[in-house]
Structure 1
Amino acid sequence: MHIAEGFLPPFHAAAWTAVATPFVIHGTREIGRTIKAHPEAKLLLGAAGAFTFVLSAIKLPSVTGSSSHPTGTGLGAVIFRPPVMAALGTIVLLFQALLLAHGGLTTLGANVFSMAVVGPWAGYAAFRLLAKAPFSVRIFTAMALADLATYVTTATQLALAFPGQTGFVGAWSAFLGIFAITQIPLAIIEGLIGVLIVKALRTWAAPELEALGVLGRSQTRGEAPTEKVSHA
């Protein structure tokens, strides 16, 4: 990720676009509902998109036809839920394809599915499953897992498109191995950054986070992590 323009066979590019489209449509509607229900969170929503744009624009060479970088989608998934990130992530990836030549238009669907759909859902699932863990551990895990899940998905997409002589399993293992060299350290770094960002947000935007159900009242006062999470 990002898979480069024209790198995927046309059938694969079209198939991933078809798979990603319903998530993006649903996410666009969820953004509207979120703004209507929490107009005070508009700036926070914009910040989540900007955070994803900046982190995912840090591009490191990883494998032919692709690149390695943080994703930043785990933070937005925790705050606004994964459907919102499907729409925000699409906007981010579209701008990057047009302005930075990161990814492409023909591969936009594949990149959206890996970074804006699978990544946020994986991070959010980890955040919810670790409900009894310290809040910083939950954020770290959500951010790191959203990053890693994106690249596992990208490796799967590339292996399906280019199985080579070793077949899907061999190609998938090879792509995963190459990604892991840079992606595991990046995921750890992204998790740590997420912890720092959320710590700052708990100071600057505690009322908004509480209204969105991310924090309970006790956490806004710096007490033990007994927050409620109302996201379903």
Structure 2
Amino acid sequence: MHIMEGYLPPQWCVFWYIVSAPFIIYGVYILNRQVKENRETLSLLAVSGAFIFLLSSLKLPSPVAGSCSHPTGTGLSTVLFGPIITCVLSLIVLIFQALFMAHGGITTLGANVFSMGIAGPLLGYAVYRLGKAVNLNIFVNIFLVTAVADLFTYVVTAIELAVAVPLQGGFVFSFETFFAIYAITQIPLAILEGVLIALVFKYIIQSRADILVKLGVLTQEQITKIMGSFS
């Protein structure tokens, strides 16, 4: 998904920076407030950022020129802290990867942040809220959030590439071509990532359920019910 340095035309680099900027600015504000009000959540913030970094660093070659395939790791942060804080964590990860790992780039940072840190988590969070509204099993919900956030990241990346470097068939043909290629690797990766994050969430429930209650992710009644099902 990381679009490499220098691949997008300058006008599109600027455009995605402008689109991403309001989310980042608001995200920094929300993150600062979160840290001040709930210092005990710092450990989970660190774990969430680490998962984004680790999973999105697993770069796989992609036939799509100027890009690559990999999990995104944003599902855990999206559920624990919401999509706005997730976009800030993603920004930090993407800057580090661009500067020290030659993964992505500074000129394409706005586009990469928008697809992985904003669009994917936003749709994933919408799925999460819908799942809660219909009382979907929490682990199934976590799986769906993670898989949807992963796949939608690549839908948006395919759009970004289709509008900036279209193939001869035009935008629709370009989008279909780019995403069809991504789907070969991303569908199995999204499934595996969903299973992994669901297992991590189970561990968090078992070890730090109190923080989940403070964050409003689960109620104490729900925690008790889930813990009972483990017995």
Common fold: TM-score over 0.5:
yes
Q: Which residue of 2 aligns with 1:53?
A: 53
Q: Which residue of 2 aligns with 1:167?
A: 170
Q: Which residue of 2 aligns with 1:130?
A: 131
Q: Which residue of 1 aligns with 2:67?
A: 66
Question: Structure 1-normalised TM-score?
Answer: 0.95
Gaps of 5+ in 2: none
Contact 2:17 2:111 in 1 (8 A): yes
Which AA in structure 2 matches 1:41?
A: T
Q: Is residue 192 from structure 1 mapped to residue 173 from structure 2 by the alignment?
A: no
Contact 2:206 2:227 in 1 (8 A): no
Identity within the alignment, %? 51
- For 2:117 and 2:210, the matched residues in 1 are separated by 26
Question: Structure 2-normalised TM-score?
Answer: 0.95
Contact 1:218 1:224 in 2 (8 A): no
Determine helix, strand or coil for the equivalent of 2:68. Answer: strand
Shift of residue 224, structure 1, vs aligned partner:
8.6
Please list every run of at least 4 consecutive aligned residues from structure 1 whose deviation after the TM superposition is greater than 6 angstroms. Answer: none
Q: Is residue 87 from structure 1 mapped to residue 88 from structure 2 by the alignment?
A: yes
Contact 1:82 1:117 in 2 (8 A): yes
Question: Where do 1:1-232 residues align within 5 Å?
Answer: 1-62=1-62, 63-131=64-132, 132-223=135-226
- For 1:50 and 1:224, the matched residues in 2 are separated by 26
- For 1:51 and 1:224, the matched residues in 2 are separated by 24
User: Residue by residue, what CA displacement relative to the aligned partner does 1:157-187 show, whole Å, maximum 9, x if unpaired?
Assistant: 0000122220000000000110000000000
Structural RMSD (CA): 1.2
Gaps of 5+ in 1: 226-232
